[in-house]
Amino acid sequence: MSQASSGNLSPGTRSKYRRPRRPVSWMGLLLGLLIGIGGGLGYAWLVDPRVEFDTQPWQLEPNDRANYIVAITLGYAYDGDLGRAVERLLALNPPGQVRGDPIQEVADVACRLATSGYVDNSSGLRAIQQMMVFYQLQGRSGCADNLIPLNQDSAVVVTVEAATPTPQPPASKTPTPEAADRATPTPLSVVVPTAVPRSSYVVAAIRTYCSTTLSGLIEVRVQDFNGDGIPGQAVRVRWQDGDNRFVTGLKPERGPDYADFEMQADLSYTVELPGQSDPTQPLVAAPCTTEAGQQAITSYQVFFRPSG
C-alpha cells in the first residue's frame, strides 16, 4: 500500500490542517485597534464630551488669551481697580517666569484686534477703545491709536433761546421804563448727545440642570443679536444679605460671554446687568437629584440678549 493510499503524507508535503498557528493575528489586532479608537472618540465627542475647568490664565491659547485681556480691561473700566487689573495681567505669565511689560501687551493685543474683523461690530469696537484708555493712562501706545478714534461719541452744541428774567432795579422817584420789566432772551448753550444709547438687555432664557460637578452654580451668558458673546459685560447677583458684581469673559475657556456665581443652599438670588436689564425671577438654590441618584444643588443657565 502506498503512502498516499494509507492517508499518510510525505514529510515534504504540508496540509492546511497541519500549518503552524501564528501567535498574533495582525488583522484581528488592527481591527480591534480601529474599533477601540473609533469607540473612544465617539464616546468623548458625543456621549460625554470633556469640559475643561479651572484653566489657569497662562495655559490659554492665543485667541483665548486676547479675550481674557479684553475682559480685564473692560472690568477695569467698570470698577477702576488698577491693582486688580495688573494682578490679572501678571497671571498670564507661567509661574516662576518673568516676561515683558503686561501693560504693553494690552496695547499689542489691541493693535492685533484693531486690524482684524474684531472691530466689525459695536461691542468689539467698544472693547478696543477701553483697552486704549487703559494702556494710554499708563503711558503706553500701540498701532490701534492710529486706526481707531478713542472716542466715538460726538456731541453737537445747539443754541436755544431761553427767557432769563432781568432783576428789578431798586425803587426810585424816577419812573422805570416799561421795557425794563420784560424778560430778556439770552442765548443758552445746551449739549445734545448724538450717540445712540446702548440697547438694554432682556432675559432670553433661563435653564436648570442638576450636576454634582457644577452644583449650585449660576451660569450667565451675555450675547448680542447674533448670539455672539460679549466679554467684559458687568453682571450683578443679589440675595437677601448682599450682592456680588463681576464681568463676563474672565473664563475664556467657557466662552467670551460667560461668567458664573456659586450659590449657597436654600437661598434665593436674582441676576441682572446693572442699569441695562431688569432682575430675573428668584433663582432658588434648592436640592436636586441627578440621573445617577446623587444629591446636588440646582444650577441655572441665564441668557441675556439685547431687547428688540
CATH code at 273? 2.60.40
- Predicted confidence at residue 57, as pLDDT, reads 80
Place of cell 508535503: 13
Query: Which of 70-74, 99-103, 228-232 has the least mean pLDDT?
Result: 99-103
- Predicted confidence at residue 51, as pLDDT, reads 58
At 217 the three-state DSSP class reads strand
Per-residue pLDDT, averaged over 197-219, amounts to 87
- Predicted confidence at residue 259, as pLDDT, reads 92
- Predicted confidence at residue 103, as pLDDT, reads 87
**Euclidean distance between CA atoms 117 and 306, whole angstroms:** 21
Q: Where are the beta strands (DSSP E) in the chain?
A: 155-164, 184-193, 201-209, 217-222, 234-239, 242-247, 258-262, 268-272, 283-284, 287-289, 295-297, 299-306
Most confident of 50-54, 71-75, 154-158, 181-185: 71-75
Q: Mark residue 56 as left, alpha or beta (left: phi above 0; alpha: psi -120 to 50; beta: remaining).
A: beta
Structure-model confidence comparison of residues 134 and 78, the more confident one: 134
In the listed set 123, 147, 171, which residue is the last one of a domain according to the structure? 147
In a domain, 297, yes or no: yes
- Predicted confidence at residue 16, as pLDDT, reads 55
Q: Are residues 121 and 208 in the same domain?
A: no
In a domain, 186, yes or no: no
- Predicted confidence at residue 288, as pLDDT, reads 93
Q: How many residues does the chain have?
A: 308
- What average pLDDT does the chain have? 76
Per-residue pLDDT, averaged over 32-54, amounts to 72
* pLDDT band with cut points at 50, 70 and 90 for residue 146: confident
Q: Are residues 286 and 219 in the same domain?
A: yes
- Predicted confidence at residue 118, as pLDDT, reads 84
* pLDDT band with cut points at 50, 70 and 90 for residue 182: very low
Q: Are residues 292 and 222 in the same domain?
A: yes
Q: Domain of 281?
A: 201-306
**How many independent structural domains does the chain possess?**
2
In a domain, 188, yes or no: no
* pLDDT band with cut points at 50, 70 and 90 for residue 31: confident
- Predicted confidence at residue 30, as pLDDT, reads 80
In a domain, 166, yes or no: no
Q: Are residues 142 and 206 in the same domain?
A: no
Structure-model confidence comparison of residues 216 and 28, the more confident one: 216
Per-residue pLDDT, averaged over 132-138, amounts to 86
- Predicted confidence at residue 97, as pLDDT, reads 64
In a domain, 11, yes or no: no
- Predicted confidence at residue 21, as pLDDT, reads 63
Long-range contacts of residues 98-102, Cβ cutoff 8 Å, at least 24 apart: 101/140
- Predicted confidence at residue 26, as pLDDT, reads 73
In a domain, 272, yes or no: yes
Structure-model confidence comparison of residues 10 and 192, the more confident one: 10
In the listed set 127, 147, 167, which residue is the last one of a domain according to the structure? 147
**Euclidean distance between CA atoms 6 and 12, whole angstroms:** 16
- Predicted confidence at residue 227, as pLDDT, reads 86
| In contact, 78 and 247? CB cutoff 8 Å | yes
Per-residue pLDDT, averaged over 101-108, amounts to 88
**Euclidean distance between CA atoms 169 and 173, whole angstroms:** 12
In the listed set 147, 177, 209, which residue is the last one of a domain according to the structure? 147
- Predicted confidence at residue 176, as pLDDT, reads 47
**Residue ranges in 43-96 assigned as alpha helix (H):** 62-79, 82-90
In a domain, 22, yes or no: no
**Euclidean distance between CA atoms 14 and 164, whole angstroms:** 123
At 170 the three-state DSSP class reads coil
**Euclidean distance between CA atoms 211 and 53, whole angstroms:** 14
Question: Grid coordinates representing 100?
Answer: 515683558
Query: Which of 18-27, 54-63, 269-278 has the least mean pLDDT?
Result: 18-27
In a domain, 175, yes or no: no
